[in-house]
């Protein structure tokens, strides 16, 4: 059994998985590192390569500033490399890299050349990844670049150390109402993020509280600069979530009206001060006019008015405004079935298309409601043809087991990115909206809400590391499959034992469907306990003001979102999606109850009734969790004991909770309908 898989190392354990002949071939080059240029990020890349070589081959690589008279690995930016081999013909793109093998004056060399500092760093990590995955040198050679220009992690961390929707301990950024003094763990985190290609981080909660509102002032900017310096070493720009009412709360102005000249001047002065401290500051993330957060609506203005005012003051510095589209009326009357929370983002932002500045980016959640385990793709993707857009995913598992349950989220994200909007005909995938190519947008990308904290394994559940890793890899290349990412992460984290790789990968790939089976089949979400969103509560939100209903009664269940008889939400999609969702016969059954209200005796394509499907799928989900436990138990003695024990503990919690979900939901629907399970299984009547 290997001891390499320490909880803390994640996928950077750097174990050599090569056979002896291949190991010798790599070692021939790795004894010598030839570095060109003195860019800080290039130096970080050199240090990462040196560290990996030490761990993998147990040798200390020699560092050269002049070409050595022996085989070597060259690390440098394109502009700093004199003999570029074939790189000049490769058309390197921003943050891209080339790894090639050349013979030069009798000496073989592996060149890792980046278009810029970030490209060098990503190239080095890719080279290390190839070695650790057991690839041949030939297989390691490539030209590559990130498909999405912005690849951002959003932290919902508060200065008191708490994390909103955090399930892995407390913040690694804040402690005791202050920014952490010891930044060694922050640096280790920056390494993890850089290794998967992340180039931006929002360091505070989108719900900006009183103290964090001051982050844009000199009360905190010196210390935030300290954070920024750590991340900058690894090519990661820092962003701040801001309180739209900051001109009032910290600027002592009577208003935060975005069209008020004094407000604009206050923000202009504030931005100037920020860039005095943080030269490569990325910009602002804004949640406005939603869930009681202040915004331009307070003053009779619209989202474009608010975003553009901020965009104008950031533009001279190259900064951007990321404006969240998670807005809706959170004081909904449950009595009024015409009101539909799912429609809010589209209704608010579609009329404003083309009215935002070119450094404003709209950040849209993958689904129209709120990170449910199963919901359709937001119709806002593809609807904004003249506006920069980003996709927002939630890596932290708010509605998918809160990192107590295994739920590999990459398949969910793939479904979003692979969805065809038909905005410019067939093939207008969300991935093309995210990377800006569909409408030729200046700024675009993907953001993910972080799932890390100060837990020993960063993510609370060791297997939840796969979601963080998978997010980064998918941002880099959305064409990667869920299995490719799972295989890669498992190899890097647990080694190349065939049984381990096959078992862990299988567990990951099946886990989202398993979670869905025992919680929310056919597109019904939100049957959770209010507030914390953990555990089953079928009517928890049914009569609330939050607008998240399933409308179950004695006859049927589901939300009628059709244009013919319901809220009209289906009309927000382009054809053919609009027609598919509108027609109950064509609607994918995984979304049936999201779009249609049906009787419990409605026949599915399987021939089962809806009610029988609900019973069956909840019983099945529990059995599937039992199988996860069996699979994991087979790995005892084959992986690190600490990891094995912690995952085993989490899976036992998951089994307990899956049974609770099964019993609560099945009993709820039996008591609602009086319809028996045809198999006579235990339901609490």
* Residues known to be catalytic: 291, 370, 398
Distance between first and last Cα of the chain: 49
Encode 143-189 in three state secondary structure. EECCCCCEEEEECCECCCCCECCCCCCCCCCEECCEECCCCHHHHHH
Structure tokens at 576: 């053919």
* Distance (Å, whole) CA 194 – CA 504: 24
Q: What is the DSSP string of 347-400?
A: HHHGGGTT-S-TTEEEEEESSSSSS-SS-PPPTTTTT-TTSEEEEEEE-S-TTT
Q: What CA–CA distance (Å, rounded) separates 679 from 518?
A: 18
CA neighbor of 387 nearest in space, from 436, 424, 431: 436
Round to whole Å and give the CA distance between 396 and 529.
18
Helix segments in 219-343, DSSP class H: 221-232, 246-249, 261-277, 303-314
Strand partners, 72: 109
Q: How far apart are CA 524 and CA 534, in angstroms?
A: 16
Q: d(Cα 312, Cα 274) in Å, to the nearest integer?
A: 15
CA angle 53, 59, 65 (to 5 degrees): 70
What is the enclosing helix (H) or strand (E) of 119? helix 117-132
H or E element, residue 125: helix 117-132
Tokens 């000249």 — which residue?
A: 261
Contact 414, 446 (CB under 8 A): no
- Count other C-beta atoms under 10 Å from residue 252's C-beta: 8
Q: Are 150 and 447 in contact (CB under 8 A)?
A: yes
Cβ pair 121, 44 in contact under 8 A: yes
Residues composing the chain: 685
> What residues contact residue 586 under an 8 Å CB cut-off, 6+ apart?
579, 580
Nearest CA to 552 among 466, 673, 449?
A: 673
Q: Buried (b) or exposed (e) across 275-313, using 16+ Cβ within 10 A?
A: bebbebbbbbbbbbbbeebbbbbbbebbbbbbbbbbbbb
Q: Taking a C-beta distance cutoff of 8 angstroms, is the pair 142, 111 a contact?
A: no
Q: In this structure, what are the phi and psi dihedrals at residue 210, rounded to the nearest 5 degrees?
A: -55, -50
- The 8 Å CB, 24+ separation contacts for 422-430 are 422/382, 422/574, 422/575, 422/576, 422/577, 423/382, 423/383, 423/385, 423/574, 428/382, 430/377, 430/381, 430/382, 430/391
């Amino acid at each position: 059994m290997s001891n390499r898989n320490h909880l803390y190392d994640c996928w950077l354990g750097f174990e050599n998985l090569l056979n002896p002949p291949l190991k010798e071939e790599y070692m021939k080059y790795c004894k010598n590192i030839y570095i060109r240029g003195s860019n800080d990020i290039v130096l970080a890349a050199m240090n990462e390569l040196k560290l990996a070589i030490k761990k993998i081959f147990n040798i200390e690589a020699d560092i050269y500033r002049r070409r050595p008279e022996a085989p070597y690995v060259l690390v440098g930016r394109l502009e700093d490399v004199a003999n570029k081999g074939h790189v000049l013909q490769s058309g390197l793109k921003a943050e891209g890299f080339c790894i090639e093998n050349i013979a030069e004056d009798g000496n073989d060399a592996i060149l890792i050349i980046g278009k810029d500092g970030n490209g060098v760093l990503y190239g080095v990590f890719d080279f290390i990844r190839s070695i650790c995955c057991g690839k041949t040198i030939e297989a390691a050679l490539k030209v590559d670049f990130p498909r999405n220009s912005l690849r951002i992690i959003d932290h919902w961390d508060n200065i008191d150390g708490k994390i909103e929707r955090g399930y892995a301990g407390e913040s690694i950024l804040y402690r005791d109402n202050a920014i952490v003094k010891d930044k060694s763990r922050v640096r280790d985190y920056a390494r993890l993020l850089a290794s998967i290609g992340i180039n931006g981080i929002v360091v505070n909660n989108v719900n900006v509280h009183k103290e964090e509102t001051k982050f844009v002032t000199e009360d905190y900017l010196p210390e935030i600069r300290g954070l920024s310096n750590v991340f900058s070493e690894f090519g990661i720009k820092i962003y701040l979530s801001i309180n739209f009412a900051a001109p009032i709360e910290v600027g002592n102005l009577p208003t935060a009206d975005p069209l008020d000249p004094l407000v604009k001047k206050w923000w202009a002065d504030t931005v100037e001060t920020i860039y005095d401290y943080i030269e490569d500051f990325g910009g602002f993330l804004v949640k406005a006019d939603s869930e009681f957060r202040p915004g331009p609506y307070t003053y009779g203005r619209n989202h474009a008015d608010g975003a553009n005012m901020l965009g104008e003051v950031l533009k001279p510095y190259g900064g951007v405004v990321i404006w969240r589209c998670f807005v809706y009326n959170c004081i909904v009357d449950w009595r009024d079935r015409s009101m539909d929370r799912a429609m809010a983002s589209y209704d608010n932002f579609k009329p404003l298309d083309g009215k935002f500045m070119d450094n404003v980016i709209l950040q849209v959640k993958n689904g129209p409601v709120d990170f449910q385990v199963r919901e359709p793709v937001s119709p806002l993707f593809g609807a904004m043809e003249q506006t920069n857009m980003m996709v927002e995913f939630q890596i932290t598992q708010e509605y998918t087991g809160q990192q107590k349950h295994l739920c590999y989220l990459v398949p969910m994200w793939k479904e979003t990115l692979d969805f065809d909007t038909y905005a410019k005909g067939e093939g207008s995938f969300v991935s093309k909206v995210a990377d800006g190519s569909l409408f030729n947008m200046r700024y675009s990308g993907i953001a993910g809400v972080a799932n890390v904290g100060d837990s020993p394994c960063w993510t609370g559940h060791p297997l939840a590391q796969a979601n963080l890793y998978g997010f980064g890899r998918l941002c880099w290349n959305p064409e990667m499959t869920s299995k490719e990412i799972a295989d890669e992460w498992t190899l890097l984290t647990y080694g190349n034992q065939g049984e381990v790789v096959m078992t862990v990968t299988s567990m990951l790939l099946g886990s989202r469907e398993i979670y869905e089976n025992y919680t929310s089949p056919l597109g019904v979400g939100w049957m959770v306990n209010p507030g914390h969103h953990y555990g089953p509560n079928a009517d928890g939100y049914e009569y609330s003001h939050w607008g998240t209903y399933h409308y179950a009664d004695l006859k049927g269940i589901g939300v009628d979102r059709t244009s013919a008889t319901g809220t009209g939400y289906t009309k927000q999609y382009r054809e053919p999606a609009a027609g598919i969702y509108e027609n109950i016969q064509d609607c994918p059954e995984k979304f049936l109850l999201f779009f249609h209200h049906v009787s419990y005796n409605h026949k599915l394509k399987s021939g089962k009734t809806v009610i029988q499907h609900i019973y069956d799928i909840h019983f099945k989900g529990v059995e599937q969790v039992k199988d996860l436990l069996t699979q994991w138990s087979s790995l005892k003695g084959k992986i690190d004991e600490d990891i094995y024990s912690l995952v085993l503990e989490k899976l036992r919690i998951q089994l307990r909770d899956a049974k609770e979900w099964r019993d609560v939901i099945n009993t709820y629907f039996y008591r609602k309908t009086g319809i028996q399970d045809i198999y006579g299984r235990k339901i609490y009547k």
